[in-house]
Every structure is written in structure tokens, then in C-alpha cells.
């Protein structure tokens, strides 16, 4: 039995006030979530407890207590104030997984800024789109990534400060300032910005089928859901050693890689390294990780390397394993039992929900392949794809729909209220994923309801890829779709028609693939290109991605009555 | 010959996966995947480069993150295809 105790009883009698009371949320008018992730833990007498153990790929280590978190986040907050930044300003974090990334997140919030974390593997086009949309005022980065910003800064008039955290004595350029967390003055006290619980806190960009990526805007009160889901769904306690493998450039890396674990007061460990099975197991063994939150893609890569590698390490420290990002296949759950002696528990949520909404719980029967049941306080159903009326017949596929009002729900898309409003139908928030619910209330994922590609647990928008492809000198038109992949669930496949004078060949294919990788990101990079003479279109000229996708998945093509004649 | 191949791969890695003027040096032992120079997604483009350059087809089961983690590891794969 885990922290949640009886799921049925908790679901029946739940009130978000349970979480608010445990957190003492709102005490003395304090609603700023950063306070609850460090200062409050210190006030409870746990300042000397280890909050973060960071390990680099060469094995180097850095440790931070909760007192360190409190002081260093003050350092960031004070520094931003001194630079003239104000509450409500969007401040981007664009760094690899170094301690400064995690701690500056709290620092930005402490001074009232809106923190905009972006995945450091983004190329300059992906970065530009998101900084321009948010009107970002300042960005924290490292020497490794500052060159990408230099190439776009002249097109970003709002971007006043580029703060390089490891500049040392290296020369900097226009609007760039060097800042060292460790060398800066360390204020023990800082007057944390008295944010309203509904004040914007975090801006995470996510992709849709059409248009540019959208900034899902969250508020400080999100911590009410992130705290209790970390405790009940991830089963994290203060005395755990917790490892969340997600990058804070994505929502899992902030909701459950910063806010959740630190509001509980647990010790979290971070490995800033690329993937390697042996390295991961060694890390778990060395630091005695007890709770491990990772992604199906990583689990399938571990499966690929087999159980022999697992047996070389003592992983008996592991107590609870959870997965997120895409549906966890039944084979992975079964393999996990064989490899680690316990199953991975699947969880479902998305950038917009801010916290887990459907999951499997400790003490509850795991049905391999199922996402589990709705979290207490979350009313989740499936609705008809056309009428949006609730589906009551078990096993019938519909769209996952949530009754709005949970604390971590996004409050808008930045600069795009119209798109936000379009996500709500007949009083339900429509997640955009298809699922069925069985007789016992378990959700079974079926797929996306749109053309968004879920690759390695990250959503990639076809429009952004197609727009970037058109910038390549050889490409006349293109379509990007998801194709099945045994490790990443889906990978990007691009169908490309070339301009006259260009001929398909392997050199051109590699050039296009690298072009997108550098402009957007490795996730958006097509892993396969099919050269075609032309693309299927409607009579109004719209590319019919669905036909191309159906072909990749071996599905029925469906209605083609609007297809343009050859 | 094998030194020339190593040099070719190192040059490709520097050109495609590092920024210009990057301070990171790459030699035949430099960790590529575990250091984050080449992430697991981008490994596909490195594999494609090798297949194209040496006219081989590396099976997916051989294309593991460990097998691609250094130029020397990659050389071991190429050797299986008599490229050395």
C-alpha cells in the first residue's frame, strides 16, 4: 500500500484542500510556488537536507541542500531585479541539465517573473518562434548554446539580456552579460514576490497540428496538484532518493523534476548525460535511487540492451517505477517485472494539464497496457468525437475529456485565447487523445486525434517541420507525418517533392535531415524521407496528411471524396 | 586507411554536431552519445552518413548507443563490414 492508501476511498472523498492543508498553501498570504520548493522546507528545520545531487557525464558531482536552494535561488532573483527585470517578464531558461537550470527556475519565480524553459537541443528556428511569441525579456544560457541566440537576437527586439552562466573571462557580445551563481553575492534573505495564486508562473510551449507552437500558461496554484500527485501517484516521500529523467525543457521536467519533489522535501538526483543502459543502472546503484520516473522510449532502449546488463548491478534499492510521455506497452510492463522485480506504472497527462490526471497507483492492480484510472479530484471520461457527448458504453473509443477546474490546468495559450477556447466543448476540456474505458474504469490509450507526432514522448507539430523544410533550396512541397517506431512509438517521416533541377539521392536526403535537425531539433528531424512527384491534396489545395499517415500505419484511408484529381 | 576513416568520421561529427568555434575537442575516444554531443535521435543521421559513405547497411540491433559512443566503437562496427 502506498501513500494514497485506498484509491476508491480517496477518489470518493477527495478535495484539493487536502493538498493545500498539507502544504499550508497561502499561509501569511504566500502563494508563490518557489517559496514552497525551498524556503518552506528550511523553515520546517530541514535546511541541511540534500535537495539535489547532480552528476555530469564524466562522473563529476555537485550537491545542494535545501538551504543552498533557498540562497542560490535568492541569488538569481536578486540578480534579475538588479538587471531591471520586473514581475510578469518572461525569462527563458535555455541550458543543458546543469544545477543552474533547476535553481534559476525557482529564482525567476521568486522575483515574480514568468519562467519559460526551452529544450536546449532546439535549433535557432525553434528557439526564435518561441522567444518571439512570448516577447521574452531575458534568457539564461551557456557558452555551448549562446551561438544559436546570437544568430537570431537582432530579430528579437524584446530580448534585452542574454545571461551566460559559464562565461568566465570569455569575450561576450551585444546584450550579453556574464553571471556566475557561485561567485555572486549570496543573500540569505530575499523578499519573495507575493504572487496571486492565479498569477502566471510557467510558460511551456507545445505543438499542435496547425500554426506555430503554443505557450501553455500555468499559474502558481498549480503546485497544489503537483504536490499531491507526486505524493500519491509517484509515491514519493521525503526520505526517498528520486530520479526523474525528463529534461526541464519539457513539462515533466518542471512539474515532476522541480516542483513536485522539492515541495515534498525529497532528495532528487540528476544525471546530465546521454543515454546508456549501463551508465543509468550504475547511477541508480551508486545513489540508491528508490523512485524512478522515466519514459517508455527509455524503457524500450533498456529492453533492447536486455536483462544481462541489469544483472551486473544491484538495483534492489528501487521501490517504485513510473512511466510517462506516451503509452507504455504491455511488453514493457512485463519486461520490467522480469528485469527489476516490479512493474513500471504508466501515467497520463500533458503540458496543458500541468500534472498527472490518469495513472496506475501503488497497491492497485496494474493491467499491463492500460494508463490506469483518473486521479482523485479529476473527473475524466471519454466523449464522442463528433458530438462531444459522454460515452457510457465500456470499451467504446472516444476522446479523453476532463472537467475543467483542477489547480494545475493551463489558464490560456499565450497570445492565443481563441485556440485556448477551442479546446473546450460542452463543458469539457478535450485532451486530443483517443481512448476507451473498461468496465473497471481503466483507460486504454488508442492514439492522437490529430496530426501531431508523438516521438519519444514529445509532441512535434507537422506544420513547423513542413515550414522549415520549405526553406531548403531543393524542396518544392512537403508533408510530415508520424510513422510507427519500435522504440520511440512514432518518428517523423517526410514526403518531399523536389524543385525542378534537383534529383533524389542519398546525399540530398542526409542534407535535408541534418538541415531540420539543426534548424528545429533532433526530435523534429525526419528519420526517413520519401521523395514523391507530388503530394495528395484536397481540391482546395490542402495537403491530406491523413492519407500519408494511414499508409504508414497500414490503416484504412477513409473518405477521399475531397481528394484532388490527378 | 583506418586512420583516414577515423579522421573522416571525426570531421563529420565536428561539422554536423558541434557549433562553429565549439571549444569541445573530438578524438577517437571522445564519448559521443553519453556526452550528449550526438543525442540518441541524431544517431540516426550519423548511421545514415556511415551507410552512405561506406555503402553498407548497419542492422538496427547493431546500432546501439554503446556501439556509437566513440569513433573507436564505430570503427569496430565498420570492421565487421570489412571497412577499415
What DSSP line would sit under A260-308, residue for residue? HHHHHT-EEEEEES---HHHHHHHHHHHT--EEEE-HHHHHHHHHH-HH
Q: Which of B19, B29, B40, B41 to mutate to test the interface with A (most CBs of A within 10 A)?
A: B41
Residue extent(s) of CATH 3.40.50.12780 domains in chain A: 7-435
Name, in order, each residue with C-beta under 8 angstroms of A403's C-beta and a sequence gap of 6 or more.
A378, A379, A380, A427, A428, A429
Separation of alpha carbons A190 and A28, rounded Å = 16
- Which helix or strand (DSSP H or E) is residue A140 part of? strand A138-141
pLDDT level of residue A566 (50, 70, 90 thresholds): very low
Name, in order, each residue with C-beta under 8 angstroms of A500's C-beta and a sequence gap of 6 or more.
none
The number of residues making up chain A comes to 566
Query: Which residues in chain B have their CB less than 8 angstroms from residue A279's CB?
Result: 34
Residue B6's φ and ψ, nearest 5 degrees, are: -55, -45
Question: What's the mean pLDDT in A270-283?
Answer: 93
**Is residue A556 predicted with pLDDT exceeding 80?**
no
B8-57 pLDDT per residue, tens: 999 999 999 997 777 778 999 999 998 889 988 899 999 999 999 999 99
Separation of alpha carbons A37 and B7, rounded Å = 49
**Is residue A536 predicted with pLDDT exceeding 50?**
yes
A437-496 pLDDT per residue, tens: 999 999 999 888 888 999 988 889 999 999 999 999 999 999 999 999 988 999 999 999
Lowest mean pLDDT among A527-536, A541-550, A551-560, B44-53: A551-560
CB A83 within 8 A of CB A64: no
pLDDT reported for residue A565:
53
Residue extent(s) of CATH 3.30.300.30 domains in chain A: 453-552
pLDDT reported for residue A505:
93
Nearest CA in chain B to A275: B34
pLDDT reported for residue A1:
76
Query: Which residues in chain A have their CB less than 8 angstroms from residue B66's CB?
Result: 276-278, 305
Interfacial B residues in 45-84 facing A (CB < 8 Å): 45, 48-49, 52, 61, 64-66, 69
| CA A317 from centre of chain | 27
CB of A121 less than 8 A from some CB of B: yes
Question: What's the mean pLDDT in A368-372?
Answer: 92
pLDDT reported for residue A563:
65
Separation of alpha carbons A329 and A358, rounded Å = 16
Separation of alpha carbons A140 and A535, rounded Å = 42
**Over pLDDT 70: what percentage of chain A?**
98
Nearest CA in chain A to B12: A514
Query: Which residues in chain B have their CB less than 8 angstroms from residue A525's CB?
Result: 41-42, 44-45
Q: Is there a contact between B19 and A275 if contact means CB atoms under 8 Å apart? A: no
Give me the CATH number covering residue B66.
1.10.1200.10
Measured in angstroms, the CA of B22 and the nearest CA of chain A are apart by 7
A325-344 pLDDT per residue, tens: 888 888 999 999 999 999 99
Query: Which residues in chain A have their CB less than 8 angstroms from residue B64's CB?
Result: 304-305
Across A98-102, A205-209, A302-306, A443-447, the highest mean pLDDT is recorded for: A98-102
Measured in angstroms, the CA of A214 and the nearest CA of chain B are apart by 24
**Is residue A292 predicted with pLDDT exceeding 80?**
yes
Kindly state which CATH superfamily the domain A7-435 is placed in.
Answer: ANL, N-terminal domain (3.40.50.12780)
> Which residue has cell 497544489?
A224
Domain count, chain B: 1
Measured in angstroms, the CA of A522 and the nearest CA of chain B are apart by 6
Question: What's the mean pLDDT in A176-181?
Answer: 97
Option in B41, B45, B61 nearest A523 (CB): B41
Angle between helices A330-340 and A296-305 (to 10 degrees): 60
pLDDT reported for residue A559:
66
CB of A312 less than 8 A from some CB of B: no
pLDDT reported for residue A9:
96
Q: What's the count of helices (H) and strands (E) in chain A, helices before strands? A: 19, 27
Backbone dihedral region for residue A131 (phi beyond 0: left; psi -120 to 50: alpha; all else: beta): alpha
Nearest CA in chain B to A124: B19
Q: Is there a contact between A510 and B48 if contact means CB atoms under 8 Å apart? A: yes
Measured in angstroms, the CA of A489 and the nearest CA of chain B are apart by 13
Choosing among 3.50.50.60, 3.30.70.3270, 3.30.930.10, 3.30.300.30, the CATH entry for A453-552 is 3.30.300.30
Separation of alpha carbons A322 and A297, rounded Å = 13
**Is residue A509 predicted with pLDDT exceeding 60?**
yes
Nearest CA in chain B to A146: B19
**Is residue B80 predicted with pLDDT exceeding 80?**
yes
Query: Which residues in chain A have their CB less than 8 angstroms from residue B70's CB?
Result: none
Q: Is there a contact between A301 and B65 if contact means CB atoms under 8 Å apart? A: yes
Query: Which residues in chain A have their CB less than 8 angstroms from residue B38's CB?
Result: 274
Query: Which residues in chain A have their CB less than 8 angstroms from residue B35's CB?
Result: 57, 273-274
Separation of alpha carbons A228 and A375, rounded Å = 10
A389-425 pLDDT per residue, tens: 999 999 999 999 999 999 999 999 999 999 999 999 9
Burial class (CB in 10 A: 0-12, 13-18, 19+), A555: exposed
Domain coverage including residue B35: 2-80
pLDDT reported for residue B17:
92
Nearest CA in chain A to B61: A304
A196-236 pLDDT per residue, tens: 999 999 999 998 777 789 999 999 999 999 999 999 999 99
Question: What's the mean pLDDT in A241-261?
Answer: 97
pLDDT level of residue A29 (50, 70, 90 thresholds): very high
Measured in angstroms, the CA of B4 and the nearest CA of chain A are apart by 20
Average pLDDT of the residues of chain A: 94
Q: Is there a contact between B36 and A525 if contact means CB atoms under 8 Å apart? A: no
Amino acid at each position: 500500500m502506498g501513500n494514497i492508501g485506498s484509491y476508491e476511498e480517496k477518489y470518493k472523498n477527495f478535495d484539493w484542500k487536502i493538498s493545500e492543508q498539507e502544504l499550508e498553501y497561502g499561509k501569511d498570504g504566500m502563494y508563490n510556488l518557489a517559496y514552497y520548493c525551498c524556503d518552506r522546507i528550511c523553515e520546517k528545520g530541514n535546511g541541511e537536507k540534500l535537495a539535489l545531487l547532480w552528476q555530469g557525464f564524466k562522473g563529476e558531482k555537485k550537491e545542494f541542500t535545501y538551504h543552498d536552494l533557498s540562497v542560490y535561488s535568492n541569488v538569481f532573483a536578486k540578480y534579475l531585479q538588479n538587471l531591471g527585470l520586473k514581475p510578469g517578464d518572461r525569462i527563458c531558461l535555455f541550458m543543458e541539465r546543469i544545477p543552474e537550470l533547476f535553481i534559476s527556475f525557482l529564482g525567476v519565480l521568486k522575483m515574480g517573473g514568468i519562467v519559460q524553459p526551452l529544450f536546449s537541443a532546439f535549433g535557432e528556428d525553434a528557439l526564435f518562434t518561441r522567444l518571439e511569441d512570448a516577447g521574452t525579456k531575458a534568457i539564461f544560457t551557456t557558452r555551448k548554446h549562446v551561438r544559436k541566440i546570437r544568430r537570431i537576437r537582432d530579430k528579437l527586439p524584446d530580448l534585452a539580456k542574454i545571461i551566460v552562466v559559464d562565461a568566465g573571462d570569455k569575450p561576450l557580445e551585444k546584450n550579453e552579460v556574464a553571471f556566475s551563481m557561485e561567485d555572486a553575492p549570496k543573500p540569505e534573505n530575499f523578499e519573495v514576490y507575493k504572487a496571486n495564486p492565479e498569477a502566471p508562473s510557467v510558460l511551456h510551449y507545445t505543438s499542435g497540428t496547425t500554426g506555430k507552437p503554443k505557450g501553455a500558461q500555468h499559474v502558481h496554484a498549480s503546485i497544489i496538484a503537483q504536490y499531491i500527485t507526486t505524493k500519491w501517484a509517484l509515491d514519493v516521500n521525503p526520505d526517498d532518493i528520486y530520479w526523474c529523467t525528463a529534461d526541464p525543457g519539457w513539462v515533466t521536467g518542471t512539474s515532476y523534476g522541480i516542483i513536485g519533489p522539492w515541495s515534498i522535501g525529497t532528495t532528487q538526483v540528476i544525471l546530465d548525460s546521454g543515454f546508456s543502459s549501463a551508465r543509468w543502472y550504475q547511477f541508480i546503484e551508486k545513489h540508491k535511487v528508490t523512485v524512478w520516473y522515466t519514459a517508455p522510449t527509455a524503457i524500450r532502449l533498456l529492453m533492447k540492451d536486455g536483462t544481462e546488463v541489469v544483472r551486473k548491478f544491484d538495483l534492489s534499492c528501487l521501490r517504485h517505477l513510473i512511466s510517462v510521455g506516451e503509452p507504455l506497452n504491455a511488453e514493457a510492463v512485463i519486461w520490467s517485472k522480469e528485469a527489476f522485480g516490479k512493474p513500471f506504472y504508466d501515467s497520463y497527462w500533458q503540458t496543458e494539464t500541468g500534472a498527472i490526471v490518469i495513472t496506475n497507483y501503488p497497491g492497485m492492480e496494474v493491467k499491463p497496457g492500460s494508463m490506469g484510472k483518473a486521479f482523485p479530484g479529476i473527473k475524466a471520461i471519454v466523449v464522442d468525437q463528433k458530438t462531444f457527448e459522454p460515452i457510457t458504453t465500456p470499451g467504446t473509443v472516444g476522446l479523453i475529456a476532463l472537467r475543467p477546474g483542477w489547480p494545475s490546468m493551463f489558464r490560456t495559450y499565450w497570445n492565443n485565447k481563441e485556440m485556448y477556447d477551442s479546446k473546450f466543448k460542452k463543458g469539457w476540456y478535450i485532451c486530443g487523445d483517443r481512448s476507451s474505458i473498461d468496465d473497471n474504469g481503466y483507460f486504454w490509450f488508442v492514439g492522437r486525434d490529430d496530426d501531431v507526432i508523438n516521438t519519444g514522448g514529445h509532441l512535434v507539430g507537422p506544420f513547423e517541420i513542413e515550414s522549415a523544410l520549405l526553406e531548403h533550396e531543393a524542396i518544392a512541397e512537403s508533408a510530415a507525418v508520424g510513422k510507427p517506431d519500435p522504440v520511440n512509438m512514432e518518428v517523423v517521416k517526410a514526403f518531399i517533392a523536389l524543385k525542378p533541377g534537383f534529383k533524389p539521392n542519398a546525399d540530398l536526403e542526409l542534407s535535408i535531415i541534418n538541415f531540420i535537425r539543426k534548424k528545429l531539433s533532433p526530435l523534429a528531424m525526419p528519420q526517413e524521407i520519401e521523395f514523391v512527384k507530388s503530394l495528395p491534396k484536397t481540391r482546395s489545395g490542402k495537403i491530406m496528411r491523413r492519407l500519408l499517415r494511414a499508409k504508414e500505419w497500414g490503416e484504412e484511408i477513409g473518405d477521399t471524396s475531397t481528394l484532388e484529381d490527378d | 586507411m583506418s586512420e583516414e576513416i577515423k579522421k573522416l568520421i571525426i570531421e563529420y561529427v565536428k561539422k554536423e554536431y558541434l557549433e562553429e568555434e565549439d571549444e569541445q575537442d573530438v578524438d577517437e575516444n571522445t564519448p559521443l552519445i553519453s556526452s550528449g554531443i550526438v543525442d540518441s535521435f541524431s544517431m540516426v543521421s550519423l548511421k545514415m552518413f556511415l551507410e552512405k559513405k561506406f555503402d553498407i547497411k548497419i542492422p538496427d540491433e547493431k546500432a546501439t548507443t554503446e556501439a556509437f559512443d566513440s569513433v573507436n566503437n564505430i570503427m569496430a562496427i565498420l570492421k565487421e563490414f570489412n571497412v577499415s
